[in-house]
Amino acid sequence: MTETARVRRTPKFAVFIGLGAALGLLTALILTFAFDGGTTEQSAATGVVYTPTQVFGFLALFGVPIGIAVGGIVAVILDRVLAKRTREVRIEHEHIRTQD
């Protein structure tokens, strides 16, 4: 028996989301040290002195979710582009019977 089926490639969404999260974390790290993340004087708003680790944590709270969103959007766009490249293939079913 022969049938036809549509075959297309799809991106692995988990990979794109994971790479987006890693990119957001890396961006937070770069921003922390590019702009001298720690302060030596008190914040005018809170009266607290922030360490580089705290600044990195604050930036990571925003960077990781934004990176996840960007990775997901890229995966969806790539999925839509690859959906146009659908092709049909012929499939043959074989039934094999074994003797016990």
pLDDT digits 0-9 by tens, 62-95: 999 999 999 999 999 999 998 888 888 898 888 8
**For the whole model, what pTM was predicted?**
0.74
Report the candidate in 64, 59, 78 with the shortest Cα–Cα distance to residue 9: 78
- Give per-residue pLDDT as tens, 26-50: 999 999 888 776 667 777 787 888 8
| Contact yes or no for 24/65 (Cβ under 8 A) | yes
What percentage of the chain carries pLDDT values higher than 70?
96
Residue 39: its pLDDT value, please?
Answer: 67
